[in-house]
Chains A and B, each alone.
Chain A
Amino acid sequence: MIITYEDIIIKTLTRVLAPFLQLYALYVLAHGHYSPGGGFQGGVILGASIILMVIAFGLDTARKRLTEKADIVLLCIGLLIYSGVGALCLALGGNFLDYSQLTKILPVTVAKARSLGILFVETGVALGVMAVMVSLFYDISTGGLPPER
């Protein structure tokens, strides 16, 4: 269980830092094909920003911002994006995650289609990783018990 301790320094700095952390996570995700990073790393940073808020503001406040239900929904959406792009390529006549098939529905070149396909898949991975991290943290900090009320 996490006990809330009123520390004004940590609270204020978390408040100032959290938006920048989240934006940095999205930067790492969006620029994964130019610089180090990608879906997993971006998702971990995004999850870390929420875990930081749990540590600073306490479990209840953080769960009001991102409820466990919404977390599971995000996890499912991430998985759906990943498998959806894969299945779309399969349906268009290629292999699973064969992005070159996306040129049939997108007006772009093959190289651009591969880049875009990877970006979509990475977005799904990032959402999934973030949701799993936060879900694991919630489960550990509540001892696996459902929220009260």
Chain B
Amino acid sequence: MEVTVLIQATDEAFKIIEEARNRALDVLNTSVKFTAEAKLLEERKIQAIFKGAERTKSEVLSFLATFALLFFPFWMPLSGFFDVFHLSIGVGCCALVAYISHDLLFVNVRVGDMRTIVKRFFTYIPWLIYQIILSNIHVVKIVLSPKMPIDPKIIKFKTKLDSDISLVTFANSITLTPGTITIDIKDGEYYVHAIDEDVAYDLLYGGEMEDRVAHVFMEAEHVYVQDVLDVARIYGALR
């Protein structure tokens, strides 16, 4: 008699333990699923920021951005009058221009990393000026030497940049540097006129300028340490 009671009790105890275990497993599974989904979502967000999928869809936003860019850093210093009459004329003119051409200035802008791009662009400019001084000296040497060791050639090389603005920045940086002139960009290939071998080799095999431009505009294949830190910052801001 006592044995049966004991066996029943143990059975019940086992059942209860089993149920508890199942419940705990359920809870664990759902929580694991939730964290996995959350992780996937966050990864997708970061990917979206990188790929530029989060673009300015809203025309109002681009209108406001164009208006602010036109009015504060351009109209106000240009005008120099800060009375009500001139400021109201300025607001009217900027609103008109922003309305006419709000689709021109901000195309394919990635919202998340605009600030980073601007910051990096302003650190790129001093480096570019330094490069311009260096190649100025190089060209002066060529011009002043009595032999005139020029060897003009047109070189063609493939680029790893892909957005319009980075292609144009790189092309204009090449043109600004003495000794090299960008002739054309066609199908992702640059056609550059170079004054001698050194300059041409720098462009063909050096590629530091291209790397820097890619870094400025956060092109996909150039994830630097700074990029990773920025992603961490954006990720933190999103949370």
Contacts and interface: CB of A to CB of B under 8 A. Distances in A.
Interface of A: 7-9, 11-13, 15-16, 18-20, 22-24, 26-27, 30-31, 34
Contact of B105 (A7, A8, A19, A26): A19
A30 B168 contact: no
A16 B105 contact: yes
B185 interface: yes
Contacts, number: 59
A19 B97 contact: yes
B78 interface: yes
Interface of B: 66, 70, 74-75, 78-79, 81, 86, 89-90, 93-94, 96-98, 100-101, 104-105, 107, 164-165, 167-168, 171-172, 182, 184-185
Nearest to B71: A23
B93 A26 contact: yes
B135 to A, nearest CB: 20
A15 B168 CA distance: 12
A34 B81 CA distance: 10
A22 B100 CA distance: 9
A27 B96 CA distance: 12
Chain A interface, >50% SS class:
helix
Nearest to A115: B85
Interface centre among B78, B79, B104 (most CB of A within 10 A): B104
Chain B interface, >50% SS class:
helix
A26 B96 contact: yes
A31 B167 contact: no
Given A19-B97, A19-B98, A23-B93, A9 B107 contact: no
Contacts of B164: 8, 11-12
A22 B168 CA distance: 22
A8 B107 CA distance: 14
A15 B93 contact: no
Given A16-B105, A18-B101, A23 B70 contact: yes
A12 B161 CA distance: 15
A125 B168 CA distance: 37
A121 to B, nearest CB: 16
Given A8-B164, A15-B104, A27 B93 contact: yes
Nearest to B165: A12
B185 A9 contact: yes
Contacts of B100: 22
Nearest to B164: A12
A11 B184 CA distance: 12
Contacts of A22: 97, 100-101
A19 B89 CA distance: 17
5 contacts: A9-B167, A12-B165, A12-B167, A22-B101, A30-B89
